A and B are shown apart, each in its own frame.
Chain A
Amino acid sequence: MPTVTSLINLKGGVGKTTLTLSLAHFLALEHHKRVLVIDLDPQTNATVCLIPENDWKTRDETGRTLYQLFLDEVKGVKRFNADDAIVRNVSNVNGGVEGLDLLPSSLQLIKIQDKLTQVTDFESYQRGPIFALRDALAPFLPYYDHVLIDCPPSLGIVTLNGLAISDSYLIPVVPDILSVLGIPPILDRVSHFAGCVRRNVRALGIVISKMRSNTILHNEMTRRLREDFTDRRFPLVFNTIIPESTRIAEAANVLAPINTLVQKYGAGGPYEELSALTEEFLGHVTR
């Protein structure tokens, strides 16, 4: 069975999608792993970084995104077919990366999130479509070595579906005041949820991203995050720190001509850090 890791933070813009995508690329291309990216975020950003937006649109209109899965739950029907929905060998690197697959998200999830929330009991989790994703993917997960889940910045029903198949979660943070605020509620609610559904979902660690090492605030907050780990208040903080980088932002362009990861992320910069992060991730996730 694969390792299944959710990337989660209640704050938006902390690098969840960026880290999901870069880990997926490095695992598939440099470590030759079979990787499935599940994009649970209705913003659909991970999806359109891996396939052109027009392809996504066509899939969305033909029921081949996660919208159909959750719409089925609302309507009480079974139309979603995971085999059709999973896009194989995605990415713009070399025209597609073998072993890197995507389960695409949909903007339309916004339209049904409230309906899903209304039928869910968020204290006991006895009621609501908590296991829709698990049930739909059960036959396909054994094919993969790693599953990475890009979660929306919330702990709603869609995120819980991701946690219900996860063994661990990563918390990307920008080392600033607001991003760090999102950590304690995640630790609390994930622990509560995992206890209710009797699943061991461990906090793999915190990854510092979008670091601006020339600012006092970022350096100070990084030091405090490490101290909070030492004091057992927070989980482990990964040694590798991902810098704020124009190159990483540009890597989101799925239509750019790219042949290698060095070209995608730039040598002498983010490439080295992202490669090191993947090594560190593998060290922790397979432990």
Chain B
Amino acid sequence: MSHDEKRGASVAAFLRELAQQAESDSAFATHLRTALTKSGLLEAGADTSRPLASAKPRARTARTEARTPASAETTPDPFGIYRGQGEDALRATLDALDLATLRAIVRTHRLDPARISARWSARDRVINLIIEQVRARYNHGRAFERI
């Protein structure tokens, strides 16, 4: 492991520790959020010439879309679709999405913690991964229902 990789791993370990604590301790998460807001870091990347209240989202260009993929709010909920409409409907929904959005779904729901699919370029492969993982999670524990 190179020096830069070691440094990257240390930073990642630190951020993971912070995230785990925030996940398990809601008071800590609130303190963290307050501190972050007060620090002004959240606005550091924003256009400071305009008041925040009137700030409008920048139009998504092809370039920014590639760099800032769809968020949890803008991606379809695969679990909701699977539960409400079934596997065929989920496949039809996923078929209509681009690769960046499919990857955002995978990331948002942590369907591939090892991020193996990040290297896949075939949409079908990512769609199959989403369906397999959603089906597995949805049916998780079914075998335990009757003993």
Instruction: Give the B-binding residues of A (Cβ under 8 A).
Output: 44, 48, 53-54, 56-57, 107-108, 110-111, 212-214, 243-247, 250, 253, 255-259, 263-264, 266-269
Contact = CB atoms under 8 A, between A and B. Distances in A.
Interface stretch (B45-53, B65-73, B85-93, B111-119): B111-119
For the residues of A in contact with B, the DSSP-based class is loop
Given A53-B140, A53-B143, A54-B143, A259 B116 contact: yes
Contacts of B24: 212, 244
B114 A264 contact: yes
Nearest to B8: A268
Given A110-B147, A250-B110, A268-B10, A256 B133 contact: yes
Query: Which 8 pairs across A and B sit closest by C-beta, in order of nearness?
Result: A268-B9, A263-B114, A53-B143, A57-B143, A255-B136, A107-B147, A250-B113, A268-B13
12 contacts: A54-B143, A56-B143, A57-B143, A107-B147, A108-B147, A212-B24, A246-B16, A246-B19, A250-B110, A263-B116, A264-B114, A268-B10
A200 to B, nearest CB: 37
A272 B100 CA distance: 32
Contact of B21 (A53, A54, A110, A214): A214
Contact of A257 (B13, B19, B20, B117): B117
Interface residues of B, number: 29
Interface of B: 8-10, 12-13, 16-17, 19-21, 23-24, 110, 112-117, 129, 132-133, 136, 140-144, 147
B31 to A, nearest CB: 13
A48 B143 CA distance: 10
A245 B20 contact: yes
Contacts of B8: 268
A252 B129 CA distance: 17
For the residues of B in contact with A, the DSSP-based class is helix
B131 to A, nearest CB: 12
A172 B13 CA distance: 23
A213 B115 CA distance: 27
A258 B136 CA distance: 15
A256 B132 CA distance: 9
A107 B147 CA distance: 7
Contacts of A212: 21, 24
A268 to B, nearest CB: 3
A257 B16 contact: no
Given A247-B16, A253-B113, A268-B8, 4 more contacts: A53-B140, A110-B147, A245-B20, A250-B110
A255 B12 contact: no
A246 B144 contact: no
Contact of B16 (A48, A250, A256, A269): A269
A244 B116 contact: no
Contacts of A214: 17, 21
Nearest to B120: A257
Nearest to A67: B147
Given A212-B21, A268-B12, A269-B16, A247 B136 contact: no
A255 B147 contact: no
A75 B64 CA distance: 69
B93 to A, nearest CB: 21
Given A245-B20, A246-B20, A267-B9, A257 B112 contact: yes
